[in-house]
Amino acid sequence: MTVVRLVARPMLASMFVMGGVSALRNPDQHVKMADPVTTQLSDAADQAAPDTRSGPDERQMVLINGAAQVVGGLALATGRLPRLASLQLAGSLVPTTYAGHRFWEERDKTQRANQLIHFTKNVSMFGGLLLAAVDTEGKPGLAWRARNAAGSARREAKSLRRQARTSAKLAAKSIGS
């Protein structure tokens, strides 16, 4: 692992670990912020499937999201499955940002500006997580490996075809003689 990755991953992960710990310690404060979003989600789920059992309540969703951020943040910080951890953190950041930084609903100019700053900070972190999710650490990625394997298979097939033609011609000559 390069020094940049060694330093950058914990830096990126720190906000998630701290936010997750905060959600686990003070879930009620986070539930208040999440209430508009969780209510929308619950209503949509009830309309989509009215006869099904409802999922976790708001407090449980906050706790699950907080735990996911702590686990994902620690995994990213320590370099354990960093690409998967980055994707998981990016996924947890979407509802967190939507619930916690609804700048478009703020009436107070100062609060609106503050929420807009936090919203754009989270959008920036989302971009950093996407970059971390595609970082192969200089090793070939899955797409490159697939293209390379397909190219190797084509070259091998072409070579085998040539060998088969050559063998067939030699066999035809030896039979004809």
Burial class (CB within 10 angstroms; exposed 0-12, middle 13-18, buried 19+) of 61: buried
Q: Name the phi and psi angles at 83, rounded to 5.
A: -70, -45
On whether the pTM is more than 0.75, the answer is no
110, 70: one domain? yes
- State the pLDDT at residue 140: 77
| Residue 90 confidence (pLDDT) above 90 | yes
Confidence of residue 11 (pLDDT cuts 50, 70, 90): very high
27, 80: one domain? yes
16, 98: one domain? yes
The mean pLDDT value for 75-93 works out to: 94
129, 164: one domain? no
Average pLDDT, the chain: 87
List, in sequence order, the alpha helices (H) in the chain.
Answer: 3-25, 27-48, 58-78, 82-100, 109-134, 142-176
- State the pLDDT at residue 53: 67
11, 88: one domain? yes
24, 70: one domain? yes
Do the Cβ atoms of 103 and 115 come closer than 8 Å? yes
103, 121: one domain? yes
Rounded to 5°, the CA angle 51-54-57 comes to 160
Residue 173 structural domain: 141-177
Confidence of residue 146 (pLDDT cuts 50, 70, 90): confident
- State the pLDDT at residue 55: 66
What is the number of domains present in the chain? 2
Do the Cβ atoms of 83 and 142 come closer than 8 Å? no
pLDDT > 90: percent of the chain: 51
pLDDT in tens, 14-46: 999 999 999 999 998 888 888 777 777 777 777
pLDDT in tens, 158-174: 999 999 999 888 888 88
